[in-house]
Structure 1
Amino acid sequence: MHIGIDVGGTNTDAVLVEGRRVLAECKTTTTADVTTGIVNALNGLQAAQNFEPAAVNAVMIGTTHFVNAVVEGRGLAQTAAVRLGLPATKALPPFVDWPQRLRQVIGGHSYLCHGGYEYDGRVISPLDEDELRGVATDIAAKGVRSVAISSVFSLVNGDLERRAAEILTAEVPDLLVSFSHEIGRLGLLERENATIINAALRELAEQIADGLTESLTAQGIDAPLYLSQNDGTLMDLEYARCYPVATFSSGPTNSMRGGAFLSGLDECAVIDVGGTTTDVGMLHNGFPREASSEVMISGVRTNFRMPDVLSIGLGGGSVVREQKEGISVGPDSVGYRLAQQSLVFGGDTLTATDIAVAAGLAEIGDPGLVKNLDRKLVDAVLDHVCEQIATQVDRMRTSPAPLPVVLVGGGSVLVPDEVEGVSELIRPEHHAFANAIGAAIAQVGGEVDRVFTIDPNRRDEVLDSARQEAVDKAVAAGARADSVRIVEVEEIPLAYLPGNASRVRARAVGDLVLEDAPRRARA
């Protein structure tokens, strides 16, 4: 048996899954500290289906802890950015494009040092070890506890980043180090930014990992714990301590993977209507289509793995207002305070949930409290919701042909049965818990993304090598070898670089090995 948990802005959903069967499901209100909400969800599962905690093989969690910390600017460690690239890159130093507020929160400590590579692996300049020791001394004096090391073209060769870390940690032994070649993709500033964000979250990741472990232990569950990644795969708790940035978009990704699982479709759009937002994404081979361009995180440009998702502030908790120019729904939401502030629960705030209840689309709270709502207002809000969602689906499509859509999420009752541009609207069983189901059935992945110099006569050999490396990474991450498959191979010739240079990205996924997974109690 698996337990899947997804922590949203409004609700924390949990499911108990055995194979392809959903044995129990529970939806509870997300709490301010998040962890309490997870405990409540586990208690709800136990009440719905009495199960033996020792029979649980694994627990998978999708959490908003880390992205919320960056957006709100809280819990972030003082962080130093060390870039290896001199004498190049001086014009645009680290943090050059950061919002001042966020830069101040983490200190904005930056250092330009010698090192880095050309695209073909030639060294720009050798490391200056004395220079790095001076950086270490300054870092220690300022009380910095986490460092992000980036190097020009580190995706070609990460050796200089690793050597720089050895020098820094020899001087400052307890320093937490994040490497750009392990986190971001091509594009120095964006990869560096992603690495800095990851470094700023490392201490918080330690605290959250310990808190999640204690929450499960208190429920008598000692099964291995995994967190959902942005690409729809899993990472174990130790990996999450090192790479918290990989969880940022796990919520929408879990919903999309859950939608694929519940509907049986691998090629479609998925609309996830939650309590706070509506997320629209596309599935390819059963996995979310990834964003091909930079991704903005709280005003910072990054380029790590993220799904191509359009999000709008529209959900069950969205505040509804009548204005002179018309009806507005969201983007502000009562969030996890829905049970206190919405009309159907005796509150004084008109929300989209109240509209759904008044229209007879949902049975939540006390319908009598909204029976006198103006029917014209109710119809206008529902029309507005339909128009907003149709617009997002249209923006995601890659052809004019109508496409099938899988509708999931607790707020999906707001969506009518017919939407413009949609060939088929599918509401699968358990659709309100697709996010938690997506976490419970998630697989393990491995990815290669770097620049290769490809001889025209050796192209197939290079691509096969990239595929094999992706497979090996998936197996090393915990995938069962006989279940691993390649889900994506992408080759992009880089015309601006000489020597037949191409960016090659290969991605593999496989089923999690559960029988060999060590129990935390024995770890």
Structure 2
Amino acid sequence: MSPLDPEELKRTAADIAARGLTSVAVSSVFSPVAEDDERRAAEILGAELGPGVHFSLSHELGRVGLLARENATIINAALRDLAAAIVESFAKSLAEVSLTAPFFLSQNDGTLMDVDFARAYPVATFASGPTNSMRGAAFLSGLGDCAVVDVGGTTADVGILAGGFPREAAGESEAAGIRTNFRIPDVLSLGIGGGSLVSPEGETGPRSVGFRLTEEALVFGGSTLTATDLAVAAGRADIGDRSRVAHLDPEFTARALDRIAERLAETVDRMRTSAGPLPVVAVGGGSVLVPAALPGFDDVRRPGHFDVANAVGAAIAQVGGEVDRVFQVPEGRREAVLAEAREEAVGRAESAGARPGTVRIVDVEEVPLAYLPGGATRIRVKAVGDLDLNGIGTTHAPAGARDTQGAASHA
């Protein structure tokens, strides 16, 4: 690996200034192991460019793996200005309706972040919608370990809860077809929802009427056969005018709904990691399409307030602190290193706004790195705690997304 060249960075800064760029991505080889070069590069560039330029550092966003981590950093840098505009729009809307409550945003690990953190790390919001629904499903059902099927108007998102939090995707993921490796929940999406079009053969989706459901579905006086019409015709939902779907052939309706159940079951089965019994919790307005049992999954639950699980998940979200980096683990020192990582994660959660005494460790992951000397091990520890509203104003989001996870949601 080449040593840092300050003069080359200064020339790069001059080029950035000439182009009028205000958001810069910095990425180096093995930065999750040694972050000093990225931080030093940002300092040199910042001194040349001034305070109006923002920096996204790859070790704060992605995991081990150069190209995917670099992509994640570039995406974050590209979204910085948009994130600032969105946060300001939210704040303005709250002010217009005279809401003075503290303002948080939900992020994609089921925890909260404040507005400064959201401006700095917009990629942390990716897939926060399904995450909110899954956290809401855990709260409403009382289950910490289960599969969640979140059915909306266009898609059904299927994920796995472990300890009440969404299982994260392992390794790389794609954002708009681009390989990345930032934290994101492990979710499979299926083109089936309440607004999905039903073909003459009884196949549902992926095309959907979307938000025009109340205009185009048969039960609302429209002329398009949708999955919602099937649910109403079968007596699973009391929506719109049932008399408008009385002409549907019961055999056709049952066959189409059975096909939906089969596809949902196949997706849940793809997500499971063992052959043991797995409860399924159905949430979202479109979950009326999910039957009382799915093929291979007899325990299907639709808890009270299932249609607003997304809002519930945002409202009950906690503050998170996370350590995710490479540690040297000498022989006989494993427990001491893990204890250090746990303590650091708890401290970061409290610094991010968690109330002391409520923080608990929810996930610990160890990955030995055989190609590095000295017992190098990637250790990821996640801690969560309840939001300390009394401490707002004295706490702040930490500076690093990967090494220090911030907190907040629109609750």
Q: Within 2, Cα distance between the matches of 1:170 and 1:214? A: 33
Q: How does 1:261-272 map to 2 (within 5 A)?
A: 261-272=139-150
What SS is found at the alignment partner of 1:492? strand
Of the two structures, which has the highest relative contact order with CA contacts closer than 8 Å and spacing of 6 or more? 2
Listed as ranges, the matches of 1:153-164 within 5 Å are 153-164=30-41
Label 1:501 to 1:518 Cα distance change in 2 as closer, same or farther (>3 A): closer
Tell me, yes or no, if structure 1 residue 304 matches structure 2 residue 179. no
The CA deviation at 1:518 is 4.0
Let me know the Cα RMSD of the aligned residues: 1.5
The answer to whether the 8 A contact 1:224-1:518 is kept is no
Return the offset for 1:496: 2.5
State the match for 2:115 in structure 1.
237
Question: 1:438 is matched with which residue: 289, 297, 313?
Answer: 313
Amino acid at match of 1:331: P
> Take 1:475 and 1:247, find their aligned partners in 2: how far apart are those partners?
21
The residue type equivalent to 2:2 in the other structure is S
- In the alignment, residue 151 of structure 1 is paired with which amino acid? S
Match of 1:219 among 97, 102, 116: 97
- 1:380, distance to aligned residue in structure 2 (A): 2.0
1:224 is paired with a residue whose SS is coil
Identify the residue that residue 204 of structure 2 maps to in structure 1: 329
Match of 1:222, SS?
coil
Deviations 1:393-444 (A, max 9, x none): 1112222223111111111111111112224111111111111100000001
Moved more, 196-205 or 415-424: 415-424
In structure 2, the CA distance between the partners of 1:247 and 1:219, relative to structure 1 (3 Å rule), is same
Number of aligned residues: 393
Deviation of 1:203 after TM superposition, in Å, equals 0.3
Name the structure 2 match of 1:482.
357
Contact preservation (8 Å) 1:228, 1:247 = yes
| 1:182 matched to 2:57 | no
Instruction: Report whether the alignment pairs 1:472 with 2:352.
Output: no
- Structure 2: which amino acid aligns with 1:405? V
Structure 1 distance, partners of 2:150, 2:27, is 36
Cα distance between partner residues in 2 of 1:355 and 1:143: 55
Q: Does 2:191 align with 1:316?
A: no
Shift >6 Å, 4+ stretches: none
Whether 2:16 is the aligned partner of 1:134: answer no
Instruction: Compute the displacement of 1:374 (Å).
Output: 2.7
Other-structure match for 2:82: 204
Q: What code does the residue aligned with 2:23 have?
A: S
Cα distance in 2 for residues equivalent to 1:462 and 1:516: 30
Is 1:388 the counterpart of 2:263? The answer is yes
Match of 1:66 in 2: none
Q: Which amino acid aligns with 2:16?
A: I
- The structure-2 alpha-carbon separation of the partners of 1:363 and 1:423, relative to structure 1 and needing over 3 Å to count, comes to closer
Report the secondary structure of 2:32's partner residue.
coil
Measured against aligned partners, the alpha-carbon deviations of 1:194-222 in whole angstroms (never above 9, x if no partner) come to 11111111000111001001111111111
Counterpart amino acid of residue 276 in structure 2: A
Determine if the alignment matches structure 1 residue 283 to structure 2 residue 161: yes
C-alpha distance in structure 2 between counterparts of 1:296 and 1:466, whole Å? 29
Mapped pair 1:145 → 2:22: yes
Deviation at 1:270, TM superposition (A): 1.2
CA distance in 2, matches of 1:176, 1:367: 56
Answer yes or no: is the 8 Å Cα contact 1:466–1:506 preserved in 2. Answer: yes
- How big is the shift at 1:515? 2.2
Give TM-score scaled by structure 1 length: 0.73
Residue number among 304, 320, 328 corresponding to 1:453 in the alignment: 328
Mapped to 2, the partners of 1:150 and 1:400 lie a distance apart of: 41
Q: Which moved more, 1:168-177 or 1:296-305?
A: 168-177
Structure 2 counterpart of 1:88: none
Structure 2 Cα separation of the partners of residues 338 and 133 of structure 1: 56
Question: How far apart, CA to CA, are the structure 2 residues paired with 1:455 and 1:140?
Answer: 46
Residue 89 of structure 2 aligns to a residue in which SS? helix
- Secondary structure at 1:481 match in 2: coil
Assess if the C-alpha contact under 8 Å between 1:452 and 1:502 holds in 2.
yes
Q: C-alpha displacement at 1:170, in angstroms?
A: 2.5
Q: Which amino acid aligns with 1:305?
A: R
| Percent identical residues | 62
- Unmatched segments (≥5 aa) in structure 1: 1-123
- Which digits, 9 at most, give the CA deviation of each residue in 1:307-365, with x for residues without a partner? 1111111111112112xxx4321112222222222222233322111211222221222
Q: Give 1 or 2: higher strand fraction.
A: 1
The 3-state SS of whatever aligns with 1:402 is coil
With the length of structure 2 as denominator, give the TM-score of the two structures.
0.92
1:156 positional shift: 2.1
The match for 1:510 among 382, 385, 388 is: 385
**Match in the other structure for 1:405:** 280
Structure 2 Cα separation of the partners of residues 304 and 393 of structure 1: 24
CA contact (8 A) 1:403 1:421 kept: no
CA distance in structure 2 between the partners assigned to 1:302 and 1:178 by the alignment: 15
- The answer as to 2:177 corresponding to 1:294 is no
Secondary structure at the aligned position of 1:241 is classed as helix
Q: Aligned pair in 2 of structure 1 residues 370, 518: CA closer, same or farther (>3 Å)?
A: farther
Going from structure 1 to structure 2, the CA distance change for 1:518 and 1:332 (only over 3 Å counts) comes to farther
Instruction: State the alpha-carbon separation in 2 of the partners of residues 382 and 125 from structure 1.
Output: 60
2: CA distance, partners of 1:170 / 1:224: 34
Q: Which moved more, 1:371-380 or 1:353-362?
A: 371-380
> For residue 167 of structure 1, what is the aligned residue in structure 2?
44
C-alpha distance in structure 2 between counterparts of 1:357 and 1:384, whole Å: 16
1:274 aligns with 2:152: yes
